Amino acid sequence: MNDINLELQEKIKKIAVKIIKYYRGRGPEYVKVKIESQDIITIDIKGILSNLTEILVNEGAVNMVTEYWKIMKPHLEKTFLHEVKTILKKDFIYSWKICDIENDNRTVVITIKLIDYGLIEKKDI
C-alpha cells in the first residue's frame, strides 16, 4: 500500500474512531479501514451503538436496538459525511449497515464508493 493510501486510511480511521467514541466510548482498536480499490473504502466498526444496546441484543430485544439505530444513524451520518467529504475532496456514494446483530460478531459496516461526478448520495452498494 502506498503512502497516500496509508495516510487516507489513517484519516478516515480517525473520523470513525471519533464517531464511535461519541456513541460507544471506545477507541481505535474497534475500527478497521480497508482501501479495497482506487474507489472503494470499507470501514468495519466492531460492536453496535453502546454497551446498553449490547445488553439488549443479548437479552433478545433486537427489535428495540433496530429502532434505536434508525434514530441514531442519521445523526451519526451528518458528522461523518461532512468530515469524509473534507478529507476525500471527492464525491461519493455510501451505505451503512449492521451485520450479524444477533451474534458476538456484531459490526457496523460503512462502504464508500468514490465517484468523479454528482453529489454525495446514499445508496445500497
Instruction: Name which of 31, 4, 26 is nearest 16 in CA terms.
Output: 31
Q: Is the pTM of this model over 0.75?
A: no
Band of pLDDT at residue 18, cut at 50, 70 and 90: low
Among 97, 73, 86, which Cα is nearest to 120's?
A: 86
Looking at domain 3-122, its CATH architecture is: 2-Layer Sandwich (3.30)
Digit-coded pLDDT (tens) for 28-81: 667 888 888 888 889 888 776 677 777 888 888 888 888 888 887 787 778 778
Average pLDDT over residues 119-125: 56
CB 109 within 8 Å of CB 96: yes
Tell me which residue of 38, 30, 48 sits closest to 4, measured CA to CA.
38
Pairwise pLDDT comparison (107 vs 1), residue with the higher score? 107
125, pLDDT greater than 60 = no
pLDDT of res. 28: 61
Torsion angle, CA of 72/8/37/97, rounded to 10 degrees?
Answer: -10
CA–CA dist 7, 9 (Å, integer):
5
Q: Quote the percentage of the chain above a pLDDT of 70.
A: 77
